[in-house]
Chains A and B, each alone.
Chain A
Amino acid sequence: MSEQTLPAARGATRAPARPASNARPRRSLLRPLLTAALLVVLLAVPFYVDEFWLRTGFAVFGAAVGAIGLNLLVGTTGQLSLAHAFFLAVGAYSYVYVSGESGGLGTRAELQGLGAPPVVGMVVGVLLAGLAGLVFSPIAARLRGIYLGVASLGLVFIGVHVINTWTPVTGGFNGRSAPQFSLFGFSFGNDDPPLAVLGVPFREAERLWYLGLVLALAGYVFARNLLRSRPGRALQTLRDSEVAASVMGVNVQAYKARVFLVSSMYAGLSGVLYALSIGSVAPESFTLVVSIQYLAMVVLGGLGSVGGAALGALFVTALPLVFQRYADVLPLVSAPGQGGISASFAARYLYGAAIVLVILFEPAGLAGIAQRLRSGLRRGRAPARRADAAPTSPPTPSDRPAQGSETR
């Protein structure tokens, strides 16, 4: 399992294309520069924009973590899962339970909570979500492709039922509020300690922005590295052909279990961030619609592309919020109850249509479009080199995850 297998694995990969050798020197300069610029912008944002955008940003970071996780499962490994909302719920409710206080407010005095520090709650949330994924994975590993998709659908309904029923822990139908996050005594609330950087007061929104940014970046880097490592290659081979993978020495069952574990841990973290961004959790936040939203993010971004998943999360999460805010300016969209199309409906039309259009016309998603733009740019700037660079067209990723193995 060394040199021989490498070319094959690289052929199957869809990680950011390594274009013809001539482009290497310029890329090596351009990419870090762009990345650095993006980072600086992201770091500087809280100094310039108002709270609405920061809160939207935090929601996007949270969703991006979840989308990256789902992408590992659906995009990289080719396992259709509609259970993501369930794993989000496990993460969110674990956090709320572990870090929340017993007693609750006023009428619902029977709420239980462990009152542990929020960091512990977050870690437990991630671990428990991972555990849930691991428990489900034996079922998942037995099911192929589409059977898995529908079986995982069942998990979401069962999850919502449990949330509604297990009131002492989950708060039942009404949900319960999420404790504020704090890290070693530093609270992510509005004050305590009051903080101002360069004359800009750092309140909850600003602090959470950085928390989200750090976690999303960590999730991004981890997934990127994972895909470029041996397990990542194994997962991609698994997607393209289970038979080929097992012939190459990939333990199919074990890898499926592991990818479920990792993906649901991502979902767990995303769930915790969701609870923080909304400030409370309720069963209606973890229904099938949410699973489908995450699927939409992954598909829009481009199956298998980590950066694409983050872009997809930005699109799907921010769209309804932005629509809501600019409802009076945008045509066709209106505030709820005024006729016209309400913001959340408008967003749903848009991403529904986007899913269909992406699969019909650009299966590589936003990542594919970006890829094409980039290579178009390169071609435009270096027309002379084009002749010797043999296949200049971007290696169209084998974006369509091959389904299972040859079956006939």
Chain B
Amino acid sequence: MTQFLSLLLNGVSLGAIYALIALGFVIIFKASEVVSFTQGSLLLLGAYTMARLSGPIGFLPAVLVGILVTALAAFLIERLVINRLRGAPVISLAIVTIGVDIILLTELIRRIGPDILNVPHPWGGESVRIGGVGISQNRLIAMVVAGLLIVVFFVLFKYSSWGVAMRASAEDGETAALMGIRQGRVSAVAWIVAGALAAVAALFLVGAPTPGVSAAAYTVALRAFPAAILGGLDSTGGALVGGLLIGLAESFAAGYQEHLLFLGRGFGEVVPYVVMIAVLLVRPSGLFGTKELTRV
């Protein structure tokens, strides 16, 4: 039972991190109809910046700079590439983000090399026990911060003028444009927010129990794709549920590995994809995605 609770708690905290990434993914899709394959390398960029700068300028400034740099990178991608392709088919847009991702990722991997960079979290790698259930401090803080950020995000999304503008243009871009909503700006802000969210996720993703910043962090970040798809690409709430589901599934599959040995070692790493495919079989637009209607 203790193991179950522990896995549950760890799964939720991992899921909260996935949810942050998936949320960025979803708002980019809502604002600019782009499925951004750049989230993984943006996340790695954030982690790399934090790891490299926290020596010279200290932890907190490094985190802030990391978030800024990642948001800026996302903004530049939007301005320089995506914005020029307004109206292009979804597939071309997705492919172009893959191209950007290759360049950014190659550069980061070349810089990181075979090393594992360390982000010196002040809370270190210790774990705390809550009534017999152990969880690393990093994951606990991640859960709290991610929860706060998600609440803030949803409040802004609902009430701020940016949120209203974004929901309007996601609903019907043309009408929103006619009402004076600047599509370009909405999309740029969405990318900035997504970049910042990815950087925050990066901060916690590279902390305990993960060893540090290495090329493997990219693979971990990729598992946020199933989270976003699972919940439905155009549903922010879905991203949340999807993130939690994926986090839980991964945590349980890794925790009960001995019982799942017939599926091979390291099954936890692929379980997000298995869950995703299973869900898509039943609901092709994800759990909460808008069902595509065809009107003739």
Contact = CB atoms under 8 A, between A and B. Distances in A.
Interface of A: 74, 78, 80, 139, 142-147, 149-151, 153-155, 157-158, 161-162, 164-166, 242-243, 247, 288, 292, 295-296, 299, 341-342, 345, 348-349, 351-356, 359-360, 363, 400-408
Contacts of A342: 110
B294 A151 contact: no
Contacts, number: 150
B233 A151 contact: no
B84 A360 contact: yes
B286 to A, nearest CB: 7
B102 to A, nearest CB: 3
A305 B84 CA distance: 24
B263 A165 contact: yes
Contact of A341 (B88, B110, B263): B110
Contacts of A162: 264
Contacts of B107: 349
Given A146-B94, A149-B94, A355-B99, A158 B264 contact: no
Interface stretch (B127-135, B191-199, B266-274): B266-274
A147 B266 contact: no
B293 interface: yes
B280 A352 contact: no
B284 interface: yes
B229 A400 contact: no
Interface of B: 35, 81, 84-85, 88-92, 94-96, 98-103, 106-107, 109-110, 172, 222, 225-226, 228-229, 233, 263-267, 269-270, 272-274, 276-277, 280-281, 284-286, 292-296
Secondary structure type dominating chain B contacts: helix
A151 B89 contact: no
B102, B109, B272 — which one has the most chain A CB atoms within 10 A of its CB? B102
B225 A150 contact: yes
B124 to A, nearest CB: 32
B281 A406 contact: no
29 contacts: A80-B91, A139-B280, A142-B280, A146-B35, A146-B94, A147-B280, A147-B286, A150-B35, A150-B229, A151-B229, A154-B270, A154-B272, A161-B264, A165-B263, A165-B264, A243-B296, A296-B99, A348-B102, A349-B107, A352-B106, A354-B99, A355-B99, A359-B85, A359-B96, A360-B84, A402-B89, A407-B292, A407-B293, A408-B172
Given A158-B273, A355-B98, 15 more contacts: A139-B280, A146-B91, A149-B94, A151-B280, A153-B273, A157-B273, A158-B270, A164-B266, A243-B294, A247-B296, A342-B110, A349-B106, A355-B96, A359-B95, A359-B96
A355 B226 contact: no
B66 to A, nearest CB: 23
Contacts of A80: 91, 94-95
Nearest to A78: B91
Contacts of B286: 147
A360 B96 CA distance: 8
Contacts of B267: 161
B266 A161 contact: yes
Secondary structure type dominating chain A contacts: helix
Contacts of B295: 406, 408
B295 to A, nearest CB: 7
A355 B276 contact: no
B98 A295 contact: yes
A231 to B, nearest CB: 21
Contacts of B110: 341-342, 345
B267 to A, nearest CB: 7
A154 B233 contact: no
A164 B264 contact: yes
Contacts of B233: 146-147
Top 4 nearest A-B pairs (CB, nearest first) are A165-B264, A355-B99, A154-B273, A352-B102
Contacts of B281: 139, 142
B288 to A, nearest CB: 13
Contacts of A296: 99, 102
A250 B233 CA distance: 28
Contacts of B296: 243, 247
Contacts of B284: 142-144, 147
B90, B229, B264 — which one has the most chain A CB atoms within 10 A of its CB? B90
A146 B98 CA distance: 13
Contacts of B228: 150
